[in-house]
Structure 1
């Protein structure tokens, strides 16, 4: 089922060239009574980022989930789901290897590895969001908005890339939209031949 990969993605741990602090939003918690306690809180469902991991370099494989603002089902409109797939196809040809994607009604899953000289993952995702938002407004004459941030998970060496890809591709089946993932028009891979 999963033909050979193009071999461009490398799952590797390494140093980070740019400090995360320079990119992160800064919040002054000094006015909050329990600032130290709040700063150390662990938020369920949001795994910690790996210290020293090269989030800003090409090579690692990421599973990204981008949500529509307020969980609005924008991608239930075929024209909008088609736009996001078109955007991913373009980016696969120019800046990332896209192993799997799935545009669900209210969110998007992408399994990708950035290619050199790609921008940092956060900028790559931001560019994708901006393009889709602009084109969606042009196509429909209505507003379109993403959640401000996105979730990313680093696919580690002990994880099977095909297992994560299958999880992404099976999303419409789990939601009951289609009986088989092959029947859902807005999920697939630009790297693998899924018909094998």
Structure 2
């Protein structure tokens, strides 16, 4: 039997309220599925998410070979009770990108994947200050550089 997954969400926190959230979603078994040809599919998916959930905006974003990072902001005057939670929003995003990815695999435009595209769940961090916004943006922007430096180190070994 698999061990029970640890719940990383904040207890008694309503993930529908206005705020900024650092989101990371990894591919299933860390498959390296995402290259330049995936960028337009993801950009379209971010725009579709913003249209489907008008109180959501995708801020800083980066696509890595086996994961994506972005800042999701929720802001609006609408009733919080009528909003979807971050879990529902990310579930929709993963489903939407999976459908579109499969279409592109069938058309020979993207590589096939093993079993699934996305891992179960996602990582989120509630951003609580302007300093944190700065740090998260910096982390997202520097992520590709860190990967390139790591790959250089691996080549030397």
Q: Give TM class, smaller chain.
A: 0.7 to 0.9
Matched, 1:111 2:71: yes
TM superposition shift of 1:159:
3.9
Matched, 1:121 2:86: yes
User: Distance between the aligned counterparts of 2:96 and 2:9, measured in 1?
Assistant: 27
Q: Say which of 124, 130, 137 aligns to 2:102.
A: 137
Q: Say which of 48, 56, 60 aligns to 2:19.
A: 60
1:159–1:50 Cα change, 3 Å: farther
Q: TM-score, normalised by structure 2?
A: 0.73
Q: TM-score, normalised by structure 1?
A: 0.60
Question: 5 Å matches for 1:13-162?
Answer: 48-55=8-15, 57-76=16-35, 78-95=36-53, 96-115=56-75, 116=78, 117-141=82-106, 142-143=112-113, 145-157=117-129, 159-162=131-134
Larger Rg: 1
1:157–1:47 Cα change, 3 Å: farther
SS at match of 2:60: strand
TM superposition shift of 1:157:
3.0
SS at match of 1:170: helix
User: Distance between the aligned counterparts of 1:66 and 1:50, measured in 2?
Assistant: 18
User: Distance between the aligned counterparts of 2:8 and 2:132, measured in 1?
Assistant: 21
User: Distance between the aligned counterparts of 1:98 and 1:118, measured in 2?
Assistant: 16
Please name the residue that 1:187 is paired with: none
User: Distance between the aligned counterparts of 2:122 and 2:8, measured in 1?
Assistant: 14
Aligned residues: 135
1:132–1:112 Cα change, 3 Å: same
1:159–1:51 Cα change, 3 Å: farther
Structure 1: 4+ residue segments shifted above 4 A: none
Q: Say which of 111, 136, 140 aligns to 1:168.
A: 140
TM superposition shift of 1:91:
2.2
